[in-house]
Structure formats: structure tokens, C-alpha cells
Amino acid sequence: MIDLHTHLLPNIDDGSSSVEQSVEVLRRMGELGIESVALTPHVTAMELVEGAEGAVQRRDRAFRGLEPAVPSVPKLLLGFEIMLDQPLPALALGDRRLSLNQSRYYLVEFPLGVVTGFATTVLAQIARSGVVPVVAHPERYDECSAAVVRAWREVGAKIQVDGTTLVRPGVRGRRARELVEQGLADFLASDNHGGRRTVATGRAYLEELGHAAVARLLTEENPRAVVEDRHLVPVPPVELKGGVLERIRRLL
Ligand SMILES: [Fe+2]
């Protein structure tokens, strides 16, 4: 598996707060079969108005502090999670140091109260520049629905659903499951902030329901396509029947 969304660079954002904490999380991910992990600290579009130099330097310094202590598996990749508090500045669109592993794919998020019409416009603008925006955890937004996510995909965005949210009760869990059910999620990730969330949870859930091929697409094949800067494979719709959620939650 490959996890393209984590906050495991120590003391750079609201994620892991020490090298030791990050090493422990990474070791566990390695044991669960996660072969590569992207470190994606938060940055805002507003911070990038005059270029990415400051953000990249901060990230690379934190990476140099972590790198000597990490286990050999998982392999570490670099990226950012860009908060679109305003449209992405032109300078940022041309700077692949901001993308996932220097690919065409930029991991982006919106403020929680985002107006989805604004989001669609901003995503379309990014996509027109040749960059592919990947919307992180759309299931968090109250305005998010399958129809909204479909509109985002139509303007060129790709969709990352949180793997652990798939097994959660409540509205976010339901939204996450609906996106996967309708084939609107391109890949899963953990958004681990130094805790226990991993992409393996979503994988186990889908496998338990008999959807091993879709589980592989969402946790291996499409994340690998991002890492290698290739086109993503369409993910077919699946039926997520109830009943196994409780069992999975007990297992993980
Ligand atoms: Fe995140």
C-alpha cells in the first residue's frame, strides 16, 4: 500500500510533535504493509502568494531532522497539503515542489465551511493550468454530496477519501462510503497526524466486503500512478453492505 497524505514531519504543523512519535507511526505502517508514505505538511494558498521557497525550506529542514531516524520501510516521499483559502497563486501552479512527489498531482483542501461553487471554480482554474488537484477528504465538508464531488471531478479534480473514515459511524462515514460506492474516490489515504490512522483500515474493510480489486486500486494502484506521475485508473462502483462495520472496528 501507499499512503499519500500524512502529517508526520515533526513540529511543522498540527501533526506529529517529535521524531520519536513519527518513527513509531512509520514503523507500525511498515508492519501493516505500507511501502511508501508521503509527508504532506499544511500550507495555505495565501502563504504561497510570493512563491513556495519559504514553505519548501521549512519542510526540507524538518525532513532532514527526521530522515536519519526512520526505518528503511516505508519509503518517504514529499508533498504538501495546500489549503485553498484563496485561488492557488500562479507562482505555485508552476512549482512542482508543492505537488505529491513532484508529480502533476497537488493535494488540496478547503476551509470546513467552504462554499462548493467557489471550490468548483478554484479547482477548474487549477486544472486548466495542467496541474491535477486532488481534493483531500471531501467527506468532511457539510456541503459535500455525491453531486458536488461529481462536479469537481468533471472540472478535472481527483478525490482522496480518508481510509479510516470509511469505517466510522455518523455523517462523515456515510459520506465517505457513498463516494466509494459511487466510484467517485480515486484513492484512500490516512491523513495521519501522529496517531493510529492508517490506510490499511480502509483496505481491510473493502476486502472484508469482498471488494479486493477495488481495495487494491484505491490503496496501491492509483497511489502508485500518482507517485509515478501517470494517469489514474477509473474505480468501479461497489456495494458497501452494512453489518461488517462493527466487526472491522473491533479488529482495528
Ligand atoms: Fe491533512
- Confidence label for 246 from pLDDT (cuts 50, 70 and 90): low
39 CA distance to ligand 1 centroid (A)? 10
pLDDT bracket for residue 115 (50, 70, 90): confident
CA of 180 to the centre of ligand 1 (A): 19
Once rounded to an integer, what is the mean pLDDT over residues 28-50?
97
pLDDT, mean of residues 108-118: 91
CA 71–ligand 1 middle distance (angstroms):
22
pLDDT band at 252 (very low <50, low <70, confident <90, very high): low
Determine the pLDDT at residue 232.
Answer: 98
Ligand 1 centroid to residue 41 C-alpha, Å: 7
Res. 241: pLDDT tops 90:
no
Domain count along the chain = 1
Give me the pLDDT at residue 26, please.
98
194 alpha carbon – ligand 1 mean position (Å): 11
Distance 150 CA to ligand 1 centre (A): 22
d(CA 240, CA 242): 6
**Domain extent at residue 103:** 2-251
Distance 191 CA to ligand 1 centre (A): 5
State residue 244's pLDDT score: 64
- Residue 102 falls in which region: left (phi positive, over 0), alpha (psi -120 to 50) or beta: left
CATH code for position 70: 3.20.20.140
Asked whether the predicted pLDDT for residue 250 surpasses 80, the reply is no
How does pLDDT run across 179-192, given as a tens digit for each residue? 999 999 999 999 99
